[in-house]
């Protein structure tokens, strides 16, 4: 059984403590945490396991309702990419992913932060010049067209998936949720192309975000090295569970 089908099988049979369980908890915790969520790793695990969250003095600060909702939504986002990993990336696909992530959050009531739609005003990410809102659709179209032109002809490489990620984050198509949707897309594309997937840990978030800037400036090695290291961390988990299958055996057909 390959990794794709193992993840699906564990999900569908509600298998605890396996690859699917570990990935869901680690992916939601780390990806949300690096975007400012105050939910701890333990709370994320309890939330995934029981749909409840425990607040205690030991946890420290209060938690925003949207942090809880977005953690639950991230679990659904992962299921979505697991069920659709083989689909081509498109405007509608990416907007759907964003809509799942932000559903039932305060963004639903905001005219300036629409969910499931590209941004309607310019956004700022540090010193990065993101796409002006009125050019976002065109810039995304160019990115998707170029990527799909290649992916429809052959298997993509890790470097090409990472390059898409950097361009996606540079366009920054949504008012919020760009980092999380971008990292979900990378995981999906790794599964589709039979590449070792990975979860970028919050503990390397500073280096990861800095390496995005370095990549834009022409130094690609730092980001690629971070991601290759995160692949090794994911492989360590697979080794503990003694998983030795391929990532996506359908590529051999």
Q: Model-level pTM?
A: 0.96
Spell out a b/e string for 197-231, using b for 16 or more CB atoms within 10 Å of the CB, else e. Answer: bbbbbbebbebbbebbbebbeeebebbbebbeebb
Rounded to whole angstroms, the Cα distance separating 226 from 179 reads: 16
Q: If you average pLDDT over every residue of the chain, what do you get?
A: 95
**3-242 domain in CATH 3.90.78.10?**
no
DSSP 186-218: HHHHHHHTT-------GGGHHHHHHHHHHHHTT
> Is residue 62 pLDDT above 90, yes or no?
no
136-151 and 91-102 are packed helices; what angle lies between their axes, rounded to 10 degrees?
Answer: 120
pLDDT value at residue 58: 56
pLDDT value at residue 125: 84
pLDDT value at residue 141: 98
pLDDT value at residue 188: 98
pLDDT value at residue 253: 63
Which positions ≥6 away from 20 have C-beta within 8 Å?
Answer: 6, 7, 8, 10, 11
More confident residue, 125 or 37: 37
> Is residue 232 pLDDT above 70, yes or no?
yes
Q: What is the mean pLDDT of residues 23-50?
A: 96
> Is residue 42 pLDDT above 70, yes or no?
yes
Q: What is the mean pLDDT of residues 7-12?
A: 98
pLDDT value at residue 61: 65
Q: List Cα–Cα distances, 98 to 76, 109, 229, 251, in angstroms.
A: 11, 15, 27, 28
Where does residue 232 rank: exposed (0-12), middle (13-18), buried (19+ CB within 10 A)? Answer: exposed
| R_g of the chain computed on alpha carbons | 18
> Is residue 56 pLDDT above 70, yes or no?
no
Q: Could you read off the pLDDT of 114-171 as tens digits, one per residue? A: 999 999 999 988 778 899 999 999 999 999 999 999 999 999 999 999 999 999 999 9
Q: Could you read off the pLDDT of 72-92 as tens digits, one per residue? A: 999 999 999 999 999 999 999
pLDDT value at residue 124: 84
CB 11 within 8 A of CB 78: no
Q: Could you read off the pLDDT of 179-207 as tens digits, one per residue? A: 999 999 999 999 999 999 999 999 999 99
Rounded to whole angstroms, the Cα distance separating 129 from 133 reads: 12
> Is residue 60 pLDDT above 60, yes or no?
no
Q: List Cα–Cα distances, 33 to 36, 74, 82, in angstroms.
A: 5, 12, 22
The pair of three-digit structure tokens given for residue 138, joined into one six-digit string = 């065109």
Q: Which of 181, 155, 171 is nearest to 246 (CA)?
A: 155
> Is residue 57 pLDDT above 60, yes or no?
no
DSSP 169-180: HHH--SSS-HHH
CB 233 within 8 A of CB 198: yes
The pair of three-digit structure tokens given for residue 170, joined into one six-digit string = 């540079």
């Amino acid at each position: 059984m390959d990794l794709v089908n193992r993840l699906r099988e564990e999900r569908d049979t509600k298998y605890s403590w396996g690859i699917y369980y570990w990935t869901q908890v680690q992916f939601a915790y780390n990806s949300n945490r690096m975007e400012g969520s105050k939910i701890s790793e333990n709370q994320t695990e309890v939330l995934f396991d029981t749909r409840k969250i425990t607040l205690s003095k030991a946890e420290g600060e209060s938690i925003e309702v949207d942090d809880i909702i977005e953690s639950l939504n991230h679990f659904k986002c992962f299921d979505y990419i697991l069920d659709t990993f083989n689909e081509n990336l498109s405007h509608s696909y990416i907007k759907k992913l964003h809509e799942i992530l932000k559903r039932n959050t305060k963004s639903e009531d905001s005219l300036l932060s629409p969910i499931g739609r590209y941004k309607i005003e310019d956004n700022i990410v540090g010193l990065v010049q993101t796409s002006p809102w009125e050019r976002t659709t065109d810039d995304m179209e160019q990115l998707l067209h170029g990527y799909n032109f290649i992916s429809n002809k052959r298997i993509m490489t890790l470097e090409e998936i990472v390059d898409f990620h950097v361009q996606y984050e540079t366009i920054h198509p949504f008012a919020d949720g760009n980092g999380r949707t971008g990292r979900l897309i990378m995981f999906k594309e790794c599964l589709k192309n039979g590449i070792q997937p990975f979860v970028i840990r919050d503990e390397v978030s500073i280096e990861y975000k800095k390496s995005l800037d370095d990549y834009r400036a022409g130094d690609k090695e730092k980001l690629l090295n971070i991601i290759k290291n995160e692949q090794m961390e994911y492989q360590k988990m697979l080794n503990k569970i003694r998983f030795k299958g391929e990532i996506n055996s359908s590529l051999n057909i």
